[in-house]
Amino acid sequence: MPDRGGGPTGPRIRVGRPSRRVRTLLMTLGVLAVLLMAFVMFAGFWTDWLWYRSVKYSSVFTTTLWTKIGLFFVFGLLMAAAVGFNIWLAHRLRPPLSAMSMEQQSLDRYRMGIAPYKRWLLLGITSLIGLIAGASASGQWRTWLMWVNGVPFGQKDPQFHLDVAFYAFDLPWYRFLLGFGFAAAILSLIAAALTHYLYGGLRITSPGARATAAATGHLSVLLGIFVALKAVAYWLDRYGLAVKSSDFKATGNWTGLRYVDANAYLPAKTILFCIAVICALLFFATLWRRTWQLPVIGFGLMVLSAILIGGLYPAIVQKFQVQPNEQAKEAPYVEKNLEATRKAYGIEDAKVEEYSGERNTDDVTKLRDDVDKTASVRLLDPNIVSPTYQQLQQIRNYYGFPANLDVDRYKDKDGKVQDTVIGLRELNLGGIPKNNWINDHFRYTHGFGAVAAKGTAADGDGRPVFTESDLPSRNSNGGNLGTYQQRIYYGEKTSQYSIVGGPQKEIDYSDDSGEKTTSYKGNSGVNLSNPVNRAAYAVAFSEPQILYSGAIGEGSRILYNRTPKERVEAVAPWLTIDGDAYPAVVDNKIQWIVDAYTTTNGYPYASRTTLGDTTADSLTAADNQRAVVAQQNQVNYIRNSVKATVDAYTGEVKLYQWDTKDPVLKTWMKAFPNTVKPKADISQSLMDHLRYPQDLFKVQRELLTRYHVKDADTFLSGSEVWQVPDDPTNRSGDAVPPYYLSMKLPEQSAQTFSLTTTFTPNGRDNLSAFMSVNAQADTSDYGKITILKLPTGKTVDGPKRVQSQFNSEPSIAESIRLLRGGDSEVEYGNLLTVPLDGGLLYVEPVYVRGGDLKYPLLKKVLVTYGGATAFEDTLDEALNKVFGAEGTTPPPADQDQGDGTTEPPTSSNPTVQAALNDAQKAFDEGQEALKNGDWEAYGRAQKDLEDALQRAEDAQSKADETGGGGKNSSQNSSQDSDKNSSQSSDKSSGSG
How far, rounded to the nearest angstrom, does the alpha carbon of residue 567 sit from its chain's CA centroid? 17
Question: pLDDT: is 886 or 551 the higher one?
Answer: 551
How much is the average pLDDT of 276-302? 84
Per-residue pLDDT of 764-813, as tens digits, reads 888 999 999 999 998 999 999 999 999 887 888 888 888 888 877 888 88
Provide the pairing of β-strand 589-600 with 576-577: antiparallel
Sign of CA dihedral 914, 917, 922, 925: negative
User: Which region, left, alpha or beta, applies to residue 482 given φ > 0 means left and ψ of -120 to 50 means alpha?
Assistant: left
Q: What confidence score (pLDDT) does residue 420 get?
A: 93
Using the predicted structure, report yes or no on whether residue 343 has a pLDDT greater than 80.
Answer: yes
Which phi and psi (to 5°) does residue 674 adopt?
65, 20
- State the maximum Cα–Cα separation within the chain, in Å, rounded to a whole number: 132
| Range 900-937 burial, b when 16+ CB lie within 10 A, else e | bbbebbebebebbbebbebbbebbebbbebbeeeeeee
Compute the mean pLDDT over every residue in the chain, rounded to the nearest whole number: 84
- Asked if 368 contacts 881 with a C-beta cutoff of 8 angstroms, the reply is no
Query: Tens digit of pLDDT for each residue in 93-117?
Result: 888 765 556 666 666 666 677 777 7
Among 152-156, 162-166, 381-385, 630-634, the minimum mean pLDDT is found in 630-634
Peptide bond into 761 cis (omega under 30): no
C-beta contacts of 913-922 below 8 A and 24+ residues apart: 913/969, 915/948, 915/949, 915/951, 915/952, 915/955, 915/973, 916/948, 916/952, 916/972, 916/973, 916/976, 918/944, 918/948, 918/951, 919/945, 919/948, 919/949, 919/952, 919/976, 919/977, 919/980, 922/948
Q: At what angle do helices 20-54 and 58-92 cross, to 10 degrees?
A: 130
pLDDT score recorded for residue 852: 67
Distances (CA, A) of 222 to 175, 187, 194, 305, 457: 20, 10, 14, 22, 77
Decide if 458 contacts 465 (C-beta within 8 A).
Answer: yes
728 or 57: which leads in pLDDT? 57
Torsion 582-585-590-593 (CA) sign:
negative
Cα–Cα distance measured from residue 684 to residue 510, given in angstroms and rounded to the nearest whole number? 35
DSSP states of 409-472 = EEE-TTS-EEEEEEEE-EE-GGG-SS--HHIIIIIS--EE-EEEEEEEEE-TTS-EEEEEETTT
- Write the DSSP string, 264-300: IIHHHHHHHHHHHHHHHHHHHHHHHH--SHHHHHHHH
Residue 961 has pLDDT above 70, yes or no: no
Higher pLDDT, 715 or 5: 715
On the question of pLDDT at 992 being above 90, the answer is no
Signed CA dihedral, 403, 404, 410, 414: sign only = positive
- In tens, the pLDDT along 462-480 reads 899 999 999 889 998 888 8
Looking at 167-171, 512-516, 801-805, which range is the least confident one?
512-516
Split at pLDDT 50, 70, 90, the class of 898 is: very low
Helix (H, G, I), strand (E, B) or coil at 40: helix
Q: Is-contact 410 398, C-beta < 8 A?
A: no
Sort residue 401 into left (φ over 0), alpha (ψ -120 to 50) or beta.
beta
* Residue 862 to residue 871: CA distance in whole angstroms: 5
Distance of CA 774 to the CA centre of its chain: 22
- CA 393 from centroid of its chain's CA atoms: 31
What's the confidence (pLDDT) of residue 201? Answer: 76
**Mean pLDDT, to the nearest integer, of 669-687?**
95
Average pLDDT over residues 262-267: 93
Q: What distance in Å separates the CA atoms of residue 468 and residue 478, rounded to the nearest whole number?
A: 9
Angle at the Cα of 867 from the Cα atoms of 367 and 924, rounded to 5 degrees: 165
CA 203 to chain centre: 57
Name which of 43-52, 114-123, 664-673, 757-766 the model is least confident about: 114-123
Residue 943 has φ and ψ, to the nearest 5°, of -65, -45
pLDDT surpasses 50 at 701: yes
Please say if the pLDDT value at position 444 is more than 90.
yes
What backbone torsions phi and psi does residue 12 show, to the nearest 5 degrees? -80, 130
Q: What is the mean pLDDT of residues 41-47?
A: 89
The residues with which 836 forms a beta bridge, in sequence order, are 839
Using CA atoms, how far residue 505 sits from 425, 445, 447, 494, in Å, is 20, 10, 15, 19
Distances (CA, A) of 312 to 267, 305, 306, 433, 839: 13, 10, 9, 72, 56
Distance in angstroms (rounded) separating the CA atoms of residues 637 and 619: 25
- Is the distance from CB of 401 to CB of 426 less than 8 angstroms? yes
pLDDT at 910: 64
What is the distance between the alpha carbons of residues 686 and 585, in angstroms, rounded to a whole number?
A: 9
Taking only the tens place, the pLDDT of each residue in 225-248 is 999 999 999 999 999 999 998 877
Residues in the chain: 992
β-bridge mates for residue 848, sequence order: 826, 857
Q: Are strands 447-448 and 450-458 parallel, antiparallel or unpaired?
A: unpaired
Alpha-carbon span 414 to 357, nearest angstrom: 37
Type of residue found at 945: L
pTM of the predicted model over 0.75: yes
Confidence bin at 959 (pLDDT 50/70/90): low
266-280, 428-442, 822-836, 896-910: lowest mean pLDDT where?
A: 896-910
Question: Per-residue DSSP letters for 490-543?
Answer: S-TT--S-EEESSSS-EEEEEETTEEEEE---S--SEE--SHHHHHHHHHHTT-
Kindly tell me if the per-residue pLDDT of 28 is higher than 70. yes
Beta bridge partners of 408: 420
Query: For residue range 837-880, what is the model confidence (pLDDT) as tens digits?
Result: 899 999 999 999 876 667 899 999 999 988 888 899 999 999 99
pLDDT at position 900, please?
Answer: 39
Q: Is the pLDDT of residue 2 over 50?
A: no
Q: Are 383 and 401 in contact (CB under 8 A)?
A: no
Whether 819 shows a pLDDT value over 50: the answer reads yes
User: Which of 846, 765, 820, 800 lies closest to 979, judged by CA?
Assistant: 820
pLDDT score, position 890: 47
**DSSP code of 18?**
P
Alpha carbon distance 519, 504 (integer Å): 8
4: pLDDT confidence band, cut at 50, 70 and 90?
A: very low
pLDDT of residue 962: 52
What b/e readout covers 351-387, taking b as 16+ CB neighbours within 10 angstroms? Answer: ebeebebbbeeeebbebbeebeebbbbbbbbbbbbbb
Q: What is the pLDDT of residue 965?
A: 42
How many whole angstroms separate alpha carbon 779 and alpha carbon 684?
Answer: 12
Contacts of 298 (CB under 8 A, 6+ apart): 275, 278, 279, 282, 283
- Of the listed ranges 261-265, 743-747, 849-853, the least confidently predicted one is 849-853
Poorest-pLDDT segment among 290-304, 680-694, 868-882, 960-974: 960-974
Tally Cβ neighbours within 10 Å of residue 689. 20
Nearest to 706 by CA among 692, 724, 693: 724
What whole-number percentage of the chain has pLDDT above 90?
A: 50
Q: For residue 347, name the pLDDT band (cuts at 50, 70, 90).
A: very high
Q: Which string of b and e fits 953-979 if b means at least 16 CB within 10 Å?
A: bebbeebeeeeebeeebbebbbbbbbb
Strand 637-647 vs strand 399-400: parallel, antiparallel, or unpaired?
A: unpaired
One-letter amino acid at 63 equals T
38 class by beta-carbon count within 10 Å (0-12 exposed, 13-18 middle, 19+ buried): exposed
| 732 vs 375 pLDDT, higher one | 375
Is the model's pLDDT at 383 over the cut of 50? yes
Alpha-carbon distance 157 to 140, whole Å? Answer: 25
pLDDT at 215: 87
Q: Residue 408 carries which side chain, given as an amino acid letter?
A: D
Give the SS3 label for residue 752.
strand
Q: Is the dihedral of CA 72, 74, 77, 83 positive or negative?
A: negative
